[in-house]
Amino acid sequence: MQPEKKQLEVLLMHYFRECYPDFPKGKVVTSESPDFIVQLKSRNNLGIELTRLNPLNAHFPDKDELTENRFREHIIETSRALFEQSSDFRLFVKFLFSENFSIAEERALSVAAQMAGIIRRAVAGKSPGSFFRESVGKEALPEGLESLLIVYHPELQHSVWERSNNLGVSKNVVADIREAIHKKDEKLRIYQKQRLNYYWLLITTDRLRGVKSYNLPDKIMNHTFQSRFQHVFLFDLIKSDVFQLV
């Protein structure tokens, strides 16, 4: 069995493959440095390295925000426990809470139970031997939640239920992307020891957002990014959007 980090990477790679229509045909093999090798039908090999977008200069939450985050994480953990009482599925689940509405403390158990029920219905009839993903929009969720992402891969043996943007919200998304690319570019010479034909970098983010309310996708696509990788992608997990940066 793969370690927990690699299990999650396998799930994310399959999710990306499903969302990116130009993903090349071939066999995806787990590896190290880079994380995956795609054995192409042309007999060439493509290496793909994964990294998570880290808000280096994130907005630092104040005391009230920290309390709210802990409360939301309590709802998530309660929901997971309720779900797993009657299901053997081990899921990757992301909860996107509303920034404009706070869930009252007395609603915590009710909301957690509703979310467990929604997730239970979403996976009903799914095969435990196959990858699947489901997204649930605001209209089908309790008040206080904006979106829900559910992804499953049979390789994932440990549940990962998280609050979206749990690393913080970036003050400068473009700068954070540049830093993510720079850090991986510095390691590319290590990946090149595999002597593969092509190298891609995949940067994942829970939900593409920043502290300023401008159109982030437009802002990002209006910038020019440089990398030694042949292609660099930014993958918004909640919206299932793939942006090609290089």
- State the angle between helix axes of 63-84 and 108-123 in degrees (0 to 180), rounded to the nearest 10: 50
pLDDT at 172 (0 to 100): 86
Of the candidate ranges 88-102, 162-176, 187-201, the one whose mean pLDDT is the lowest: 162-176
d(CA 37, CA 48): 6
Residues 238 and 146 in one domain: no
Domain total of the chain: 2
Please state, in angstroms and rounded to a whole number, the distance separating the CA atoms of residues 111 and 97.
Answer: 12
For residue 40, the domain's CATH number is 3.40.1350
E-only strand ranges, 1-69: 26-30, 36-40, 45-52
Contact present, 89 and 152 (Cβ < 8 Å): yes
Q: Which tens digit of pLDDT belongs to each residue from 208-222? A: 765 555 567 777 888
Q: What is the pLDDT of residues 124-161, one digit of tens each?
A: 999 999 999 999 999 999 999 999 999 999 999 999 99
Residues 6+ apart with CB under 8 A from 54: 167, 176, 179, 180
Residues 181, 152, single domain; the answer is no
Last-in-domain residue among 108, 131, 163: 163
Quote the tokens at residue 73: 């994480």
pTM, full prediction? 0.93
Residues 108 and 189 in one domain: no
| Torsion of Cα atoms, 108 then 168 then 191 then 244, to 10° | 90
Return the pLDDT at 230.
97
139, 163, 187: which is the final residue of a domain? 163
Cis before 34? omega within 30: yes
Domain that holds residue 20: 4-57+169-244
Side chain identity at residue 126, one-letter code: K
Residue 134 pLDDT: 98
